[in-house]
Amino acid sequence: MAVAVEVAHRSPLAGRWYPAGRDALESLLSEQIAKSARRVGPFTRRGGLGFIAPHAGPQYSGAVAASVYRHVAETEAQRVILLGFSHRRALGGVAIAGVESYETPLGAAAVDRAAAERLAGQSPFWLAEEAEVCDHSVEIHLPFLQMMVPGAQVLPLYVGRLGDRERRQAAGALRGLLDGRTVLIASSDLTHYGREFGYLPFAADDQAPERLRELDMGALRAAGSLEAGVFRRELERTGATVCGAGPIELLIETLSGLGGEVFEETLDYETSGEITGDWSHSVSYGAAGFFPASAFWLDEDGQRSLLESARFTLDSYRSTGEQRLRPAAAGAALMQRGRAFVTLYSGREIRGCVGCFERPLPLAECVPKLAIAAHEDQRFGPTRPEERLIIEVHILTPPRRIQSASQIRIGGHGLFLDAGGRKGLLLSSVAERHGLTPREFLREVARKAGAEVVAVMDTDEKRLSGDLSGIQGNLGISGLAMDFSRVRKYRRTAEILADPDIEAVDICLPTHQHAPVAMEALRAAKHVLVEKPMA
């Protein structure tokens, strides 16, 4: 069936979701952009490949969404692919709006018709009349994009039901459009909480804000795994009502196939409950960016500046006892919030190691503070005045959730574990220095967290089943996080061996228990690995 392409679509959101007048709209958007800079700092990270942005009205989610648009401006994008969806009707495949431009109070936003026609010839994309798909999940973003990247064309896509095969096909087609001047934006709010949304997993009491945050951060961490299945299972596990799950799944499926390592960074977060004070009815707004590992690297000038500031601050503290901090030269890269560790050595002996990881801070400010904190690290005893301390600074990526030890790259990945509030972190240099295998590294960080990990892993290391001594959580690697949300808990060995999903058992029991357990496992037709000689 032929689809009529609308020359210019006038957005129905003007005068309803945002002001109908140009001046009033520009003023509102400028206010939200300024608010974003005050909330999360004025500096942005370069190299963003894709983003998750909320789609409520600017007076609600505008400040959070602005953190995405400020980063998009850094990319100097010439094309923005908007992955939206329909709130009004169920769609199949990925619909391409049949329109040449969108009219907002800020003027016309041109659609990349050449790219639209290129996609329309491939499954599962199809061309739809604008009236059939028109939705605020796409159109709410247009004024911000017109202001921040005024010359960019847009490509609006409405993501419907997709099977795994269709999602892979769509992702492959989208990767063909990622030419270095194109960015992807998945449009989605996060948890919709309240009776109206049919989602009340806990009471609207004083703990509701933190519980909502845990739900939403869990969803974003799962998206950061770049595995659509991991993200989907996280939502199934929690029941979190993330309206744009389809666009997010397509976004991460697309980015996962680019090659190289990509990391999710949460740019900002707020809830409507914070804005209105009504926690019985709250929608969460999260902004996230997906960046290549190189976006977190510092050039030689930045590295030198950080080391010089740490050296000056440490030497001054050791000689005077006063904390005279000298922040690093305030270049844009060093004023971005980041994760860092400072390690002090005397020869090859560690004399202190302290970092900021879970709450990123501007690097120029946190590294000199960490130098003093490392000097006062009580685990290693006081330093002597004659000791010449060597300073080593590690700049870390955000954590990325992983599924198996086989994803750990020794010498390139540190490892972070959060297991039921018990936390441990080891830098990549630890595994390299001690010659650890990935699984040994995993066990060392678990030991540091005080979480005894006893697990049974199948032969292709994709599923993990076992007992975590009552502990469940996330394992992270320098940027990677092991997913324990799917770990199954057992009370007896017989329950493990009866599980048909488990094909192999790794026996790490006291020596005198190896033989009977191994024989039971063999009778159950399992592959058996014994890590110590049997008695």
Q: Find tokens 């005050």 and name the residue.
A: 38
CA distance linking residue 173 with residue 529, whole number of Å: 43
CA distance linking residue 417 with residue 401, whole number of Å: 10
DSSP helix/strand/coil, 407: helix
State the DSSP H helix or E strand holding residue 504, giving kind and residue range, or none if neither.
strand 504-507
CB neighbours of 510 closer than 8 A, spacing ≥ 6? none
**Region for 506 from its dihedrals, namely left if φ exceeds 0, alpha if ψ lies in -120 to 50, beta otherwise:** beta
pLDDT along the chain (535 residues), means of 10: 70 93 97 96 93 96 97 95 93 93 95 96 92 91 96 96 97 96 98 95 94 96 95 94 97 95 96 94 97 92 91 92 74 84 93 91 91 93 91 93 86 86 88 90 87 43 29 36 49 72 62 62 65 41
CA distance linking residue 454 with residue 517, whole number of Å: 14
What does the pLDDT read at residue 147?
A: 96
Among residues 340, 216, 330, 212, the alpha carbon closest in space to that of 278 is found at 212
Tell me if 25 sits within 8 A of 106, measured CB to CB: yes
Tell me if 307 sits within 8 A of 364, measured CB to CB: no
Among residues 77, 75, 93, 76, the alpha carbon closest in space to that of 85 is found at 93
CA distance linking residue 432 with residue 129, whole number of Å: 57
CA distance linking residue 451 with residue 317, whole number of Å: 36
What does the pLDDT read at residue 479?
A: 40
What does the pLDDT read at residue 529?
A: 59
Q: Kindly tell me the sign of the dihedral angle through the C-alpha atoms of 295, 298, 299, 302.
A: positive
**Amino acid letter, residue 23:** D
What does the pLDDT read at residue 443?
A: 87
What does the pLDDT read at residue 88?
A: 86
What does the pLDDT read at residue 458?
A: 30
CA distance linking residue 333 with residue 337, whole number of Å: 9
Among residues 246, 52, 11, 19, the alpha carbon closest in space to that of 134 is found at 11
Q: Which domains does the chain have, with CATH numbers?
A: 9-293 (3.40.830.10), 300-394 (3.30.700.20), 397-453+468-486 (3.30.1490.150), 490-535 (3.40.50.720)
Give the chain's largest Cα–Cα span: 83
Q: How far is CA 482 from the centre of its chain?
A: 13
Tell me if 426 sits within 8 A of 415, measured CB to CB: yes
**Two structure tokens written together for 104:** 């907002």
User: Residue 125: beta bridge partners?
Assistant: 94
Query: Residues 510-516: contacts with CB within 8 Å, 24+ apart?
Result: 511/535
Q: Find tokens 């030890």 and name the residue.
A: 405
What does the pLDDT read at residue 508?
A: 57
What does the pLDDT read at residue 496?
A: 77
Q: Find tokens 């295998």 and name the residue.
A: 437
User: Residue 427: beta bridge partners?
Assistant: none
Q: How many helices (H) and strands (E) does the chain have?
A: 18, 24
Query: Residues 295-301: contacts with CB within 8 Å, 24+ apart?
Result: 295/45, 295/46, 295/47, 295/48, 296/45, 296/263, 296/338, 296/395, 296/396, 296/397, 297/395, 298/333, 298/334, 298/363, 298/395, 299/333, 301/331
Burial of 460: CB neighbours in 10 Å, binned 0-12, 13-18, 19+? exposed
